[in-house]
Amino acid sequence: MPVRADAQRNAARVLAAARRAVASTGLDVSYHEIAREAGVGVGTVYRRYPERDQLMAAVLSDILTELTDTAHQALNCDDAWEGFSSLFTSLALRTAQNAGLSGSLDQHGGPAVAQQRHELLDLTRKVIERAQGQGRLRRDLAWQSVLRLTGAPAVQGCVLGLEPDPAHGHLVVLTVLLDGLRTD
Amino acid sequence: MPVRADAQRNAARVLAAARRAVASTGLDVSYHEIAREAGVGVGTVYRRYPERDQLMAAVLSDILTELTDTAHQALNCDDAWEGFSSLFTSLALRTAQNAGLSGSLDQHGGPAVAQQRHELLDLTRKVIERAQGQGRLRRDLAWQSVLRLTGAPAVQGCVLGLEPDPAHGHLVVLTVLLDGLRTD
DNA sequence: GAGGAAGCGGACAGAAGCTGTCCATTTATA
DNA sequence: TATAAATGGACAGCTTCTGTCCGCTTCCTC
């Protein structure tokens, strides 16, 4: 017997809800919250992902797949700076949307996700080094440092209590960072 | 009868512990954790700050006092850019140390803290506009936007799971941001 | 150094929220 | 329509937090 249609539908709903929930709450989001967000019962979420790691692996894999696509496009872009800045922007916005993840990719996901991540890192390194090779991107920063900068626009506020303004805030940070990174 | 010596000692310990705890855990840190950090019983913390808002107000006021000092120094600095960049750096590092606060200053503290914050904001605006007036800081950003940038180095990680490296990470972001902000 | 008041610590009850299970009910397929 | 798969959500057990209370300790005064 094939997979039932409603089961497939719910699986998609749960994954989408998990992505949203992880993005807003973090990796320690409760199963109940995911179920609520998905509009299904907790039992359904537990049946689909008996282990928390399986759920996180699915979420992370989903994100990594999207980003790998973007990285390939960036590497195929004729202009090295344009490729770099578009990938940088994508990474930054994605990081901002998933502020809850912050560096805990290693603990979750297992070897399959690790492999996916390694692939994306490799692509990203190539994009950065190509832009540096063409003299468009400053060379005084290691590619890892450049990559880490993508986390900067994830800012949610400041000690002075200015309202966060996530809509335009990220873009301002991105603009200034890119201006600080380009060489011409 | 004057305040007992041990009471004074404990008050200082609790405030210091609360600052550390809020910085690492966030505004919703539990009283027990603060007490543990301070090395006192929970009762002592509750006696000192029966309302959570009182505790937060004390913490925020402490931070604001420090920063106001720095802002005064920045405004007295002969070189407008130097003044700006040193204040910017202080604000950024302080924000990074207090990532847990993120924009929730308004809900806490009451009018006294609000007044302190208003004063600091005013000083900061002056520092920024002075540097812009001297043509050292790019003029295409409103002072609020510039201020918001101080939150950027608070980055704790990125979607790619690179280890956070808070020690040098903040400095790299700061360098690139300042390079993207200066006009000469 | 003795007495009394102020302060202290931490046990404890009650509330909240999370995990993971179980089964009566619903739904899709043949 | 019959049947098996899938569902939802109640529920027990656990953890963690809040806020109080009271026996004990520490400090100050005389």
Phi, psi for A103 (deg, rounded to 5): 75, 10
Pairwise CB contact (< 8 Å): A162 & B147: yes
Res B139: pLDDT: 94
Helix A80-97 with A52-76: angle, nearest 10 deg: 160
Q: Which residue of B has its CA nearest to A166?
A: B148
Asked if A148 and B169 touch (Cβ cutoff 8 Å), the reply is yes
Pairwise CB contact (< 8 Å): A117 & B152: no
Distance A36 CA to C5 C1' (A): 55
- HEC string for chain A: CCCCHHHHHHHHHHHHHHHHHHHHHCCCCCHHHHHHHHCCCHHHHHHHCCCHHHHHHHHHHHHHHHHHHHHHHHHHCCCHHHHHHHHHHHHHHHHHHCCCCCCCCCCCCHHHHHHHHHHHHHHHHHHHHHHHHCCCECCCCCHHHHHHHCCHHHCCCCCCCCCCCHHHHHHHHHHHHHHHHECC
**Of B149, B160, B172, which is closest to A176 when you measure between CB atoms?**
B149
Res B79: pLDDT: 95
Q: Which residue of A has its CA nearest to B116?
A: A160
> A-chain residues within 8 Å CB-CB of B125?
none
How is residue B117 written in tokens? 């914050």
Name residue, tokens 């503290």.
B109
How is residue A118 written in tokens? 């390694």
Q: How do residues A84-121 score in pLDDT, each as one tens digit?
A: 999 999 998 888 887 766 655 555 677 888 899 999 99
Which residue gives the smallest C-alpha to C1' distance to C28? A4
- Cα dihedral sign for A93, B103, B177, B139? positive
pLDDT 10s per residue in chain B (184 long)? 678 999 999 999 999 999 999 988 888 999 999 999 999 999 999 999 999 999 999 999 999 999 999 999 999 999 999 999 999 999 988 888 877 665 555 556 778 888 999 999 999 999 999 999 999 999 999 999 898 888 888 765 666 767 666 667 778 888 888 988 888 7
Confidence bin at A174 (pLDDT 50/70/90): confident
Q: Is A83 on the interface with B (CB under 8 A)?
A: no
> A-chain residues within 8 Å CB-CB of B105?
159-161
Pairwise CB contact (< 8 Å): A151 & B155: yes
Pairwise CB contact (< 8 Å): B164 & A102: yes
- pTM greater than 0.75 (yes/no): yes
- HEC string for chain B: CCCCHHHHHHHHHHHHHHHHHHHHHCCCCCHHHHHHHHCCCHHHHHHHCCCHHHHHHHHHHHHHHHHHHHHHHHHHCCCHHHHHHHHHHHHHHHHHHCCCCCCCCCCCCHHHHHHHHHHHHHHHHHHHHHHHHCCCECCCCCHHHHHHHCCHHHCCCCCCCCCCCHHHHHHHHHHHHHHHHECC
Pairwise CB contact (< 8 Å): A98 & B159: yes
How is residue A117 written in tokens? 């991540």
Size of interface A-B (CB pairs under 8 A): 150
